[in-house]
Amino acid sequence: MAMRSHGTGQFEVEDLASCGSGCVFEAGALVFHPENIYIGDNVYVGHYAMLKAYMRNEMRIGSGVWIGQNCFFHSAGGITIEDNVGIGPGVQILTSTHTEAGRDTPILHSPLQFAPVIIKEDVDIGVGTIILPGVTIGRGAQIGAGSVLSRDVPAYSVVAGVPGRVLRERP
């Protein structure tokens, strides 16, 4: 059986749909389907981060965004990250999930469901957070380390836990 690959993830900045000035991609950063990735100015992408675009939908990263090392972004359903967002190391953003097709179909082979993730400007996402498909994080929200977000986060709220819960509103 012949093996197929999604490629090496090695890329040139020119391969991206767009990339602003002053961007830094650290060693080991991988990019898949760069033609569907749009990046603003002064974006930092840490060591071994993986930006995995998809053959459809887009990954849009605004200006002044900081993406820590070992992050994994999978934009099959689309990802939008607005300006001045800080994303800690090891954060995972997922935009697709397998649906249940019944006991006769292995979950792995069941249909995919897609939903975008939207992160508004001035958000801070703590180390190791997991953001599940369909979540919108409101402007100025702060997400505690290790949180799992399965529903929308209101603007200027502080959220932490598994599942993520609003602890308080930012002043």
Phi, psi of 158 (to 5 degrees): -105, 120
Q: Is residue 74 annotated as part of the catalytic site, yes or no?
A: no
User: Rounded distance, CA 22 to CA 3, Å?
Assistant: 38
Q: Which helix (H) or strand (E) holds 112?
A: strand 112-114
Residue-level length of the chain: 171
Which of these is catalytic: 47, 74, 98, 109? 98
* Beta bridge mates, 50: 30, 72
Q: Count CB neighbours of 33 within 10 A.
A: 22
For 114-153, b/e burial (b = at least 16 CB within 10 A) is bebbbbbbbbbbbbbbbbbbbbbbbebbbbbebbebeeeb
**Residues 120 and 135: beta-carbon distance below 8 Å:** no
Instruction: Give the residue numbers marked as catalytic.
Output: 98
